[in-house]
């Protein structure tokens, strides 16, 4: 039998109450191009030591072949994955049995900004829409489902980061 979220989190919650600094985690990802002279293809390792390399391509709207997920696709995937796991965990905590769950994220971007064609067109997504389709066991109270939706949005790290972005720093180093 799988442990519940509550059982898995109980010792962590105790630790974080006693030592808040223990709650600070650092995630990593790195892009590793196979051929640095190829402007259209790379790979991303989404976690140190996970032995997973996701191919990354350039969108056709920017002149690329669009033969692999683009960075925008990966951003949408990160939001979808985070919202999905938040819903599953909160449902488990609330005692809700989900019978179906699908999260779809759609991002819209005007690429004229990226192509530096028009100064007043921002670089980046203009909209992100997260659509969640779920079903729970028959008889699950509507108020409980409302709590699930509100709590899962509040707990979704990627969604909250996109809503209130942190400062981003880029550091360049030049190899000799």
Q: What residue segments make up the domains of the chain, in order of their start?
A: 1-69, 70-164
Residue 2 confidence (pLDDT): 79
Residue 93 confidence (pLDDT): 97
**In whole angstroms, what is the distance from residue 2 CA to residue 19 CA?**
28
Residue that the structure tokens 């209130």 belong to? 164
Residue 49 confidence (pLDDT): 86
Residue that the structure tokens 């971007």 belong to? 109
Choose which CATH entry (3.20.20.70, 3.40.50.12660, 3.30.300.20, 3.30.110.30) describes domain 70-164: 3.30.300.20
Determine the 3-state secondary structure of 116 from DSSP.
coil
DSSP labels, 38-94: -TTEEEEESSTTS---EEEE--GGGTS---S--HHHHHHHHHHHHHHHHHHHHHHHH
Residue 46 confidence (pLDDT): 93
**In whole angstroms, what is the distance from residue 133 CA to residue 141 CA?**
17
The model carries a pTM of 0.93
Residues of the chain with pLDDT under 70: none
Question: Do residues 109 and 121 make contact, with C-beta atoms less than 8 angstroms apart?
Answer: no
């Amino acid at each position: 039998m799988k442990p519940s979220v509550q059982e898995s989190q109980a010792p962590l919650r105790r630790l974080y109450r006693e030592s808040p600094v223990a709650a600070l985690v650092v995630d990593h990802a790195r892009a590793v191009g196979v051929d640095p002279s190829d402007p259209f293809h790379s790979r991303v390792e989404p976690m140190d030591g996970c032995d997973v390399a996701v191919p990354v391509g350039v969108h056709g709207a920017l002149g690329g072949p669009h033969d692999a997920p683009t960075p925008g696709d990966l951003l949408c995937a990160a939001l979808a994955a985070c919202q999905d796991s938040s819903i599953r965990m909160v449902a488990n905590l609330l005692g809700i049995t989900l019978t179906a769950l699908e999260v779809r994220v759609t991002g819209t971007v005007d690429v004229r900004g990226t192509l530096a064609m028009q100064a007043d067109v921002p670089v980046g997504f203009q909209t992100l829409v997260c659509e969640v389709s779920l079903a729970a066991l028959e008889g699950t109270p509507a108020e409980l489902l409302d709590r699930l939706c509100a709590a899962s949005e509040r707990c979704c790290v990627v969604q909250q980061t996109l809503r209130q972005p942190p400062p981003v720093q880029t550091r360049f180093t030049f190899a000799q």
